[in-house]
Structure 1
């Protein structure tokens, strides 16, 4: 397996609208770095990132390598079809240079933990949900150093199937990228919620195609400080009748961080009775931070209900005054309002324990940037 050794080998676009806010120059450092952990070493202590009371299967990866010790057998395959349809450049790279592929199973809550210590790691995750089944996955990315974690996710929900995905990006530095290609069948559902925290640079791109009466929800929170660069590029395409979709993103940027969202809703000809919405809100903790928002609609049907909105601002002074009048100290008031702001993106999470876990991740990230 020949992994790219230079940034030029990857062929990242230099002039493309979808890449205008991305800065993945830190990948070059990772390409010339090596993992700090031995290739056959057992996983480090991952208890701080475990999901409390998780009783489902667990898969552990270190620098892209599957670690059998501590993992549940029967979920990893080493030979998969080289189908890269629907993925962008990063997703195709992950599938072409994968070391293993993971296949989730319906009726269970699978937890995947990836620990990065340096260098590049490519993961290929396949979520193929049969008709009428429910598939739940939690992905946690931790570690740090001069690392690049690149993930390709291929999701397919059959008729009436449900895929629920939670993503926790908690790497302490380095680069994290993902490419999601999803197909949502008749009356099926795809839902994901993401928490992007302390990683130095991140890019999440997703492309979903919806059939008749299908539903898709892509929500998440970005929390950045220092010189972090967090970038979301999404596309939800309605090809069937009666489809619904929602994209809710919240961003908090401090110091000189940059958070960006470029999302598009596409309604094909004949996709009548589509109901789609994009909701992007960002909070600037410092005026030296930057937030970019570019929601788009492309509609070729006439019986639709589609909307998008984007707001960028600072904490509500009236809300701060109200809390101060009730005896809440200024710092505590700012903390309360900021935590409530980011928690809005987790409302769609059905499991209360998981919702609390994502909230705790967000609070830790906010504490780090304040």
Structure 2
């Protein structure tokens, strides 16, 4: 379906470009919209570089319009920010999303129908903050997104409940990262309740959201010591994502890897170590394959799977294999933390099983680095 949509959009881009060349004032905004859509379809087909260029082109066209199209450029800037963040270009990504936020706040004050766009920008900002280790800032953004989308859903559930569900899932992640496991579980349950209603009405459209909510709920149940309850929940999520990935691996394999990782962790908590090893190895194979094409987006997932696999193998009394997993995970996290401070705690977790002396040396190195950065400010 994405290929057919891209083909139609490519044709529309060509037509709109010819029209814009003849009369940019009248047709420039439509040309920019088609470029932005082209970027979205290219991303769905696993072509991130071409997608990013298309979205950059859309932003440039929007900026050139004699009469500003504020909703259009805000939408393109939000997409640009998400793609830049996935590539690790955090500074440019933050600049883009902050510009989009300013525009959408202004639009929403004038017309509340722009609130869904503001929510979308808030969630993009939250993801960026979370990846940089600013969990408190992420939680503030997601809480505001939840409040706005909940208010809108009370008036028009059919239109706004999908946005509410997405915001709830993000907020659940933020809460547990802040040590609020029980509130995070309550939020995750609400997300499942919302998406379950949506998937009953339109399974083809909302199955991915339902699987995301189930996977999130399973993780939150595990955080609260309820691994027995988590197992059927995460199993259902994996079943849905396996079916989705079989028909469209480019779009759904990364999500399948996340659910398999959650399933493996649940099995480990239930002391089903052999089953957990099989599942974690499958998740690792998927994530390694994805990281070949897009390392900035998927290497952290590879490191996570390696660490989790190491824990399982350690429980199976194969210390040599476990240490190899921990060592590779530590190498990946060590490289990633240079650009993403949020990875430092994961790096130390991976280093811990490799020996106290090495861990102490790395803790001192990190502290020295933090002191140097502090003195520079």
TM-score range, shorter chain: under 0.3
Could you state the TM-score of these two structures normalised by the residue count of structure 2? 0.26
* Higher strand residue share: 1
* Higher helix residue share: 2
**Does 1 or 2 have the higher relative contact order (CA < 8 Å, sep 6+)?**
1
